[in-house]
A and B are shown apart, each in its own frame.
Chain A
Amino acid sequence: MTILAVDSLKTHFFTRAGVVRAVDGVSFSLGQGEVMGLVGESGSGKSVTGFSILGLVDPPGRVVEGSMLFHGEDLVTMPTREIRALRGSRIAMIFQDPMMTLNPVLRIDTQMIEAILAHEKVSRKEALKRACDGLAQVGIPSPEQRLRNYPHQLSGGMRQRVAIAIAFLNNPDLVIADEPTTALDVTIQAQIVHVAQNLCRERGTALIWITHDLAVVAGLADHIAVMYAGRVVEAGQTDDVIDRPRHPYTVGLLGSVPSANRRGQRLTQIPGMTPNMLSLPEGCAFRDRCTHNDERCKESPEITTDSGGHAIRCFHPQYEKAPA
């Protein structure tokens, strides 16, 4: 069952320096309980895509085109009041910095009870119990005591757990996680991924995991969409995208990841820099950094999908197997 269907979403920022096409025609859909990895480098529009779904894009940014059907209802045209009701109950978000979720001057219990009472009519006592259970489920020891703490009394990993607990409080259908482990250590990262993975499996929650780290989503996601300069350049099943990448950018990105098999050798690097979103080249945005660049690439390639659901946006699809 499809929960979310995003179709040619365009979110542009109208700045003084010009129009930034942060998200420029992104389409994907997500079924119940599915985990999607949204991968890209900084400035690729992956976070703005997440923010657009929740209606969190502030001026000068605006969703200018496209539709986002959540259970068949379009989030783009939905009145603000209804989106507010959805946000935090049916769709929730986990941010990179848990302090974006948490208020530093309120105790954890106040914030969690508030999140429940905003969407449901239950007694405070009932809400407190649910908050306590929520903390226990994300693996926080002695949740009763932690509820009475302020955010600054918790470690970074602990705060991220609280943020996850709050996101899952109202049993959402969809959780958008925006680089939730980037700021954390390896062992803590594994704990956070573990918690999010388990909660989604138990409750059938769909998850969009936004990250720059291909290795994390390789182990977590059902399918992956790779973004570059506001567009999805490659999408498909995790195995297809990681093992048989076809877009030159994905091939380059996978080659950039250090791995044991090629210790001490030079990494295949993508030349050039991440693009300036104000002055993208005409046609394919990756053209300047691509080794297969030719005359055709001056036109913008359309996204094409093969029978296996593996989609790419390129005139020169690669067939070679990626270096594992």
Chain B
Amino acid sequence: MTPVIEVRDLTKRFTKRLDLAGRIAHRLGANIHEEVVHAVDGVNLSINRGEVVGLVGESGCGKSTLGRMIAGILPQTEGSVLLDGKDTASLAGPESKAAALAVQMIFQDPFASLNPRLRVEQIIGEAPLVHGYTDRSGLSDYIDDVMLKVGLDPSLKQRYPHQFSGGQRQRIGIGRALAVKPRFLVCDEAIAALDVSIQAQVLNLFMDLREQFDLTYLFISHDLSVVEHIADRIVIMYLGRVVESANTEALFADPQHPYTRALLAEVPRLDQRKRNFTPIAGEIPSPLNPPSGCHFHPRCPHVMPVCKTEVPVLEKHQAFREVSCHLDTTDSHDINNHSAQSDSP
């Protein structure tokens, strides 16, 4: 089966160009260079139809940039995004348009992602009208239909976004995306800004819509418990690279990469009482000047000399599991011994 979305060696670099004064100073020999941020660094990923893939990482790891490139709203520096096996960059005309419509995005901030001067019916109805999913006479019914699907009362369609609560606004954003009948949704921290009880409502909506419309999701989040709940497969990113990818159950039962282990250990859980929080040291390094070799080595408890020089490759360990680490991570005995040694003072 061809995956719905496949990403090959996708890379995004943001370059801060030197201004005139900087260029002159550079000419004169000052130690000023263009700053390059490797936001996404050679990511490979494929997502099958009907699958929900959770993309997890801390801020600055490039997860949103990756999501935006897949959604086609940010051009990649290198690599390619394939929709149904076809490179989206090579498509032209109506095919390109269809590809753009097939992948839609839902944003984090339901306050910033809706135009405050448009009524709900304009926000939801604009795209389907332009792209011919409906005509003017059927537009009103079409909008009602979309609003009902996402759990909004169609009688409110004359209202403006500010008249809605955060959860309702997020539903408007979801309705806007669904109005063009996409097959693939990129949800970028789609529930992070909502209250706990409202989060559950929207998460349930996502699961209902998936069944109803046979949708495929890339669910970007920093919250592992949310991703654990909804995703079939989880991809962990660190500083622009994928460090581990596995089925949700396998990943939570037996995380392989030291970073994944650290992340899982630090997720606060309801069933843990009076725990001692034992954090991993350090912070996520600046992507302007990433560490050599394995990006995680300055924070890794199992660091070896080779980690500082060589970039580990993302290797397939078992079916559906890929890890990028120099440790022999298939042998979990090794890592356990290792941590036992480093823990004892």
Contact = CB atoms under 8 A, between A and B. Distances in A.
A214 interface: yes
Contact of B225 (A259, A269, A270): A259
Interface centre among A157, A214, A242, A260 (most CB of B within 10 A): A260
A274 B207 contact: no
A281 B276 CA distance: 42
A188 B252 CA distance: 20
Contact of A188 (B229, B278, B283): B283
A187 B268 CA distance: 10
B225 A194 contact: no
A67 interface: no
B165 interface: yes
Contact of B199 (A256, A263, A268): A256
Contact of A273 (B167, B222, B263, B272): B167
A264 B222 CA distance: 18
B277 A197 contact: yes
Contacts of B195: 41-42, 212, 274
A98 to B, nearest CB: 14
Nearest to A43: B195
Given A42-B195, A189-B266, A219 B224 contact: no
B200 to A, nearest CB: 4
A47 to B, nearest CB: 14
A93 interface: no
A255 B278 CA distance: 27
A270 B248 contact: no
A200 to B, nearest CB: 12
A64 interface: no
Contacts of B204: 266-267, 269
Interface in A226-267: 238-239, 242, 252-260, 262-264, 266-267
A264 B230 contact: yes
A185 B267 CA distance: 10
A263 B229 contact: yes
A268 B222 contact: no
A62 B226 CA distance: 38
Contact of B283 (A158, A220, A273): A158
Contacts of A194: 276-279
Interface string A211-223: 0111110111010
A238 B273 contact: yes
Interface string B262-299: 11001111111111111110011000000000000000
Interface string B50-83: 0000000011000000000000000000000000
A280 interface: no
Q: Is the interface on chain A under 10, 10 to 19, 20 to 34, or 35 or more residues?
A: 35 or more
A41 B196 contact: yes
A186 B267 contact: yes
Contact of B270 (A42, A218, A270): A218
A262 B229 contact: yes
A187 B263 contact: yes
Interface in A249-302: 252-260, 262-264, 266-270, 273-274
A292 B210 CA distance: 31
A190 interface: yes
A106 interface: no
Given A41-B196, A253-B196, A258 B270 contact: no
Contacts of A220: 274-275, 277
Interface string A169-209: 00000000000000001111111011001000000000000
B200 A219 contact: no
B268 A212 contact: no
Given A185-B58, A187-B280, A188-B283, A219 B197 contact: no
A155 B170 CA distance: 30
B268 A218 contact: yes
A239 B196 contact: no
A324 interface: yes
Given A186-B266, A266-B207, A219 B277 contact: yes
B270 A193 contact: no
A308 B197 CA distance: 28
A239 B270 CA distance: 10
B266 A258 contact: no
A239 B207 CA distance: 31
B91 interface: no
A256 B196 contact: yes
Contacts of B268: 189-190, 193, 213, 215-216, 218-219
B201 interface: yes
Interface in B326-342: none
B319 to A, nearest CB: 20
Given A187-B284, A220-B277, 14 more contacts: A189-B268, A190-B277, A190-B278, A194-B279, A239-B273, A256-B199, A257-B196, A259-B229, A259-B269, A263-B228, A263-B248, A264-B229, A269-B204, A274-B195
10 contacts: A185-B59, A185-B222, A212-B196, A213-B196, A214-B196, A256-B197, A267-B203, A267-B204, A267-B229, A273-B168
Name the 6 nearest CB pairs between A and B, nearest first: A258-B229, A256-B200, A190-B266, A194-B277, A215-B268, A185-B58
